[in-house]
Amino acid sequence: MIIKNFGIISSMTFIKNCSQNTKSASLCIFAVAILVRLVLINNFFENYTQSDGVDYHNIAVNIVHGNGYSRATTEPYEPYFFREPAYPIFLSAVYKFYSWFGSISYLSHEDPNLKLHGEIMLARIVQSFIGAGACVIFYLTLLLVLSSRVSFIIAFLFSLYLPFAIYASMLMRETLQSFFVLSMTYCFARLLISLNLKWNILFSLFWSLSNLCLQITLWIFPFAALFILIRYRAWFLAFRHSMLSFFIMMAIASPWLIRTYSFYPDIRVFKSFGTSLTHEYSSYISYLNKQTQMSQITQDSLNRVQHIWYNTSEYQKFENSFTGTVKTLYSTNSSMRLSIHDKLRSLFINFRTSWIESLWFIEMDNGRMHLRPHTIYMKGENYFLLIASLIPFVFGYLALPGILFFLRKTYIILMPFSYFFCILPLIGNEPRRALPIHAFIFMFSILMTIFLYKKVRRSVNNNSDIFNEHYN
């Protein structure tokens, strides 16, 4: 009993001492996050990457070799527009540094032997630092609305959150995208507090980089205007700051957009932010995904359609989209039409699979990972692990009542989260797209846990030790 009490007292003393100094707390969070990621990158996915990762890698190699932004591994190096440029350019910077000490080479989709590529390990290490930096930015963001102690606890625990940390092991853009989204969250919160031009410029910078990493944040500026309007009750102020952000964002992204327009001179290329993954094709794949979820077509059929599209020339992708060819594929096919019930069910499935449902993952036999281990445990009739995995399942969904209870006190830092929350049913067919806001789902779950604990202790009306009232 004495040892147990000593452990609790020591833990509380550690939290109190760290949380009292922002620099010490940031360093502690960063160190723990780095340690977790360095362990993961040396033990998981050492010789596996998704097909997307092969393309990112080969584009980066071509940039370093002076072959332009292309995924081709032989001449002629056709210009590529299917992938947003931020992540391949990031990889190319890492690879350029590595090329001063060693050689870099292409990956093959058929046999991506990662162990032969030292540049990939260096990229993983750099991604580990970026992921750890994202945890620190999350902590600094929490300090704007929560007490130093609660902010430290949440950020420290999130630095251990494996489904976020594991992406440092992969040649995937989610770590970089999350860093950009968390950075623009912090900058917008500071803008909301002060209306300082510096924070607007920084917010616009990270917003643009986020769009150049994955364009799903492109239409966030109406939410920015709404949050400014809610705080200051001034229409013109909200319009001015949101439009200024939009124009700065577009100016930063203009080299990429001009490149695309020069390749295919049609104003409609701006709808998809300069990528050949057009809205027309996205709508088509969305229909196919819904058909797959409803078991009306097989996953193999979907994969075949995507494979054909991926291997179509870039010019033809734009041409098929803008001449109506893609739309014809599903608008004239009655079997592609879903009932309202099926559409709503599909949207619900997307939302559910995007939410936090586990605090760990399972590595599959094919090298992939499964972020919802309870489904695997259920199929394998491993009931002990099934029950254990349902505990974090419940923890994740504590965030929903947590949002209702703590929205008013935390709204300053919730602009990007609110945007993602609204579009989860639309983007959730790939759950990793929601990864940038898992930090805030995590926050609400812990706040709700604290609330329930205080209710049991009958001290729920005393929130002075939870919130930072300075900015509220």
Per DSSP, which regions of 301-368 are E strands?
362-363
179 neighbors 131 (Cβ within 8 angstroms): yes
Q: Write down the pLDDT at residue 247.
A: 96
pLDDT at 470: 60
- Answer positive or negative: Cα dihedral of 296, 300, 303, 309: negative
Predicted local confidence at residue 385, as pLDDT: 87
**Residue type at 260 in one-letter notation:** T
What is the per-residue pLDDT for 442? 94
What secondary structure letter does DSSP report for 146? B
d(CA 190, CA 178): 18
The two beta strands, 362-363 and 369-370, are antiparallel
- Tell me the C-alpha distance between 311 and 306, whole Å: 9
Residue 324 confidence (pLDDT):
80
Q: What is the pTM (predicted TM-score) of this model? A: 0.91
Residue 2: predicted pLDDT: 47
CA angle 57, 162, 32 (to 5 degrees): 95
State both tokens at 119. 């540049």
The dihedral of CA 287, 213, 444, 462: what is its sign? negative
Under-70 pLDDT residues of the chain: 1-19, 290, 293-297, 329-338, 366, 459-465, 468-472
What is the amino acid identity at position 231? Answer: R
SS3 363: strand
Cα–Cα distance list, 409 to 351, 418, 419, 424, 472 (Å): 25, 14, 18, 23, 7
Amino acid at site 219: W
What pLDDT is stored for residue 6 in this prediction?
A: 47
Contact criterion met (CB below 8 Å) for 287 and 336: yes
Q: What pLDDT is recorded for position 242?
A: 94
pLDDT at 338: 66
